[in-house]
């Protein structure tokens, strides 16, 4: 594979002695191109891992918020029931108090 690439480059440039600098220039550019492609591939993998991590964090946060909402609703229902019971007790005491005052 590498020999084939070298032959293609030689055929493009020519084999005279004056063009050896161009070979080095082409090899350096090919090396840079390969490095850039590898970095793009690594970056895409890193981004996909980070995206998955963020999605899981967001899902966990939503679950916690839903649990807190459900618990607060249950607590508010309990508090509401307690207030109703307290009001009924007060009314009963007031009724008893007024009945005793009348008698």
Smallest CA-to-CA distance from 23 within 35, 9, 33, 34 is with 9
The pLDDT mean for the chain works out to 78
Q: Judge whether residue 101 has pLDDT over 70.
A: no
Distance between start and end Cα atoms, the chain: 114
Cβ 26 vs Cβ 9: under 8 Å: yes
Map out the domains of the chain as residue ranges.
2-74
pTM reported for the whole predicted model:
0.44
Higher pLDDT, 96 or 32: 32
CA distance 91 to 12: 103
- Amino acid 33: pLDDT: 96
Higher pLDDT, 50 or 90: 50
Q: What is the pLDDT of residues 22-68, one digit of tens each?
A: 777 888 898 999 999 999 999 999 999 999 999 988 998 888 888 87
């Amino acid at each position: 594979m590498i020999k084939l690439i070298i032959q293609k480059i030689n055929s493009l440039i020519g084999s005279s002695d004056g063009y050896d600098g161009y070979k080095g220039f082409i090899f350096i550019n090919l090396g840079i191109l390969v490095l850039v492609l590898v970095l793009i591939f690594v970056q895409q993998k890193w981004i996909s891992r980070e995206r998955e991590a963020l999605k899981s964090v967001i899902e966990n946060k939503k679950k916690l918020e839903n649990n807190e909402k459900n618990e607060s609703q249950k607590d508010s229902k309990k508090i509401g029931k307690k207030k109703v019971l307290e009001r009924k007790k007060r009314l009963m005491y007031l009724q008893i108090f007024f009945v005793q005052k009348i008698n």
